[in-house]
Every structure is written in C-alpha cells, then in structure tokens.
Structure 1
C-alpha cells in the first residue's frame, strides 16, 4: 500500500508528483466550514500520508474551521515543516474572505495578498502550484479570468509561484489562460458519476496538463452508478470508493485525484486504491 503504485506525472513538465495526492480540506473540519476537528489528528493524517508515499498535497488558506482556530495550512506547516524533499504543495486563490466567513470574488489587485497569505501560513518562500479558482460549484461560463490570471503570472515571473493552474473552469477559460501564461494543471468537479468535463479533460491530456478532480469519490452518485461500483468492488475485494479512484487513475495519464479525509483509516483506504487494476469488463461496465 503506497502512493507510488499510482505512477508519476511531471507537473508543469518538471515537477514529479505521484498521481494519487491528498486534499487538505477535511483536516480542519468535516466539510468546507464547520466545527473544528482535533488538530493533532490532522497532523497525524498528514504525517501518515507522507509515510505512504504521497507527495502532492492540495490545500487553501481558506480551509479552516468556522471559528478560524484550526486551519489546514497551519496543520501542514506544523506537521511537515521542514518539508521533505520532493513534496509538492498546491494551493488555490480567488475568493477574499471576511472574518465573519462571508466572501467576495477577488480581483487582480487581490492576488498578491492572497498568495502572500499562503506563503506565510505554509512557511514557504515560493509556492509549487497556485490555482486561480473562479465561480462557485459550476464554471462561470463567459466570465473572463484574464485580469486575475495576469496578476498571478506576474507573481510567477517574480519567483513567488513555480506553476500556475486554474479551477472550476471551462474549455474557453483554459484557452484564455494559456494565451497569458503556461497552465500546469486544471482542477474541476469530476468523478465517475459526473463527466461533464470530458472534452476539457481530453484537451488537458493532449497538452500534458494535469487534471485534478475535486470530490473525486463521487459523493451523491446515482443509484445505478452506485450499484455498478458495488459489483466491481465485490469482484476486487475493494470498496466502491476505491473503485471510483482506480477508475480515475486509469482514465487518463494526467489525472491527479486528491481525495481528502480527516481519518487515517480512510487515508489508507484511499491510497490502497492505487494498487487496483480494473479489467476491460470493469471499464465496460462503467463506460
């Protein structure tokens, strides 16, 4: 059971990452906002992820409990700094949060402060990958990301960012971003039961751009899909969640799932999915 079973991808053409990463959202609270989780458990989960060979951690400065007392970035720094060689930390910016938890969509002028906040909380002098996240849960079709992405591209030229990504976007956003600066990765809502972005994924695969699905375990899958996952899981002696991850890893060589959890048991279950090899029958059933 090791994340190295998921093979590697060269992020931005130069940073090797194992294709099964870890999402930090659930370290501080069980969801986007909510009561604080035990920070020592969060730190233990992070240390175990490294022991299991995970070298891609996805986080954000705004991943925190509703009272602001437990923050994912703080846990990452406390558990892992000084960071092991080869660890890649990705973060995302875009929203500007107030102390009461409300937020507004950031502008280009906000990008430097958002990046610097992540640098400070993570204890870094540069960020390996910064996603510009736009919109809510669905891509804001027709909205330009140019001003914000140009601001991040300028910070990349300064050396504060090594690689740029975009999140919650459509194929036109990808084209616009690539006209400004290289795009190393895209992060969108995608899983076995939500395949709206197949054309975007195909574009990323052709261009060698990483595709990191958030909510990769497919919470809320329809009953037909759930029954298929259960049948295939039974054949492999695995869980449906493991089959959902194995399907993603097999679908494209640029796929970088980042399942998140606040539990060591769930972490180990997710990492073990990298050992599963789906058969042609399995793929046909899920097609």
Structure 2
C-alpha cells in the first residue's frame, strides 16, 4: 500500500483544502483513519456531490489536476465523473492518514456476453487495520454507498442493496444483486497506475465517440428521502429512479424541466451561462 508521504509529490495531495471539502459534503464527525470514518466519508461524499458530465457535453473538457477538480466539485458546487470524484476522495483520505491505492478498472455492467471494455473507471483500495476495502465515490447512483470488504463472497448490504466481491484468479469483480441475480459491476487487478494513466483514461472517456459520457448528458444523484435512499439518473432528457425492483418514475423532460432537475434534484450549481447552453441542447 502507498501512503500520503510516498505519493504527495506524485498526486499533489498537499493542494487539497480538507476543511473546505468536509464542509462541502457536510461531514462533522471524526476524521481519524478508521473504518467508521471511511464509511461516513464515502457515504457523505456520494450523498453530497453528484455524478455529472456537463463539461463534456458543453465542450469544455475535463481536467484532472487536483486544483481544478477541487475548485469544480468543492468551491463551485458542481459534480463530476468517476476520475474527478475518486482522485479528490483519495487525496482527502491520504491527507487524513489513510493508506490506499488508486486503480483503473473495466466497467462490466450492461456489457454483452464476452464484451471487454477499456480501463475507463477508477476505484480505490483502502487498507484499515489490516483489512482491505473497495471504496468508490464516483460510480454514480448504482454504486455502493459504503466501502465493500475485499473478501471473496462476503455480501455487503447497504440500504436494501446488496454487493459482493467475486474473485476470478488475479481479477477482482464487484457484483451487485439485481432481480436475484449477481451481476458484475466493475473488474480490476492490482496493476500499478500513475497520474498519466488517469490522464489517458480521462481523455478516452471524455472524447471517444461511443463513450456514454460523450453521447448525451448523464447525471446521477443519491438522495435521502422520507422513505430512505433514492437513486436518480438522468440520461439525455429522460430522468428515472433506480430501485431494487427496477426502474421507476421515468419521464421525459422539457428544456425548462431539465434545468430545474439538474439544479434542484441533482443539486448542481448552475451559472446563467450553464443554463443558456443546457437549454440550447434542445
């Protein structure tokens, strides 16, 4: 495992304003490097900062240096996609004393049989008290809200959703239970990655014509409702809820409704220019 001291010069974690980040996600609890802290921080991050690709769709591009990511997700009140979320989250964790490894992995959810995706997603492996956990603050509304122990076959139940780790030789897969069937979500190995690898993965995800992040507006949020956790996703102009029983409350939005959902439901802080460009998407 790498430590904050080992990676400060490579990953630039010294640039992170930890108090500002904690205020952004609403975390006021302990910050010692424990499992309880890791769990609380991941949950607060996912509930507090949405998944979104607005900059890609509006032609602005995505930069992964921590100063830019912090300004966007923390200061400006925006969201981001997996690499932005997890590089920010990793930097904060290391500043708090956690030992972790940043990994690039392959998305399997929704793949055709035998289909292999590039390493377009990122996850973190965090070690606490001798136990390793899969921690992912940037998967969107279908990902685990809390760390998942890296123990083959162990089931982690979170707000009615179930996840588990499935070992395939050197490959580790995160699975989710969908209609009583375990479905692969992502898969990874322990290849050592550097910032330049994330730069290349970011370029592919934000420029490849068939990338879902390039095709259409794609935003997701996990919300705390009166009846528990609500997982919402907006793709193009269609918004829907994901539940353990399937898709619910699906509807197509007008341009005005789209802006309102992005601002009020997804909680993305929009400027007047943002709103103008979103409405021009048609």
Q: Please say whether Structure 1 and Structure 2 have the same fold, judged by a TM-score greater than 0.5.
A: no
Q: Normalising by the residue count of structure 1, what TM-score does the alignment of the two structures yield?
A: 0.31
The one of the two structures with greater contact order (alpha-carbon pairs below 8 A, sep at least 6) is 1
- Greater fraction strand: 2
Q: Normalising by the residue count of structure 2, what TM-score does the alignment of the two structures yield?
A: 0.31
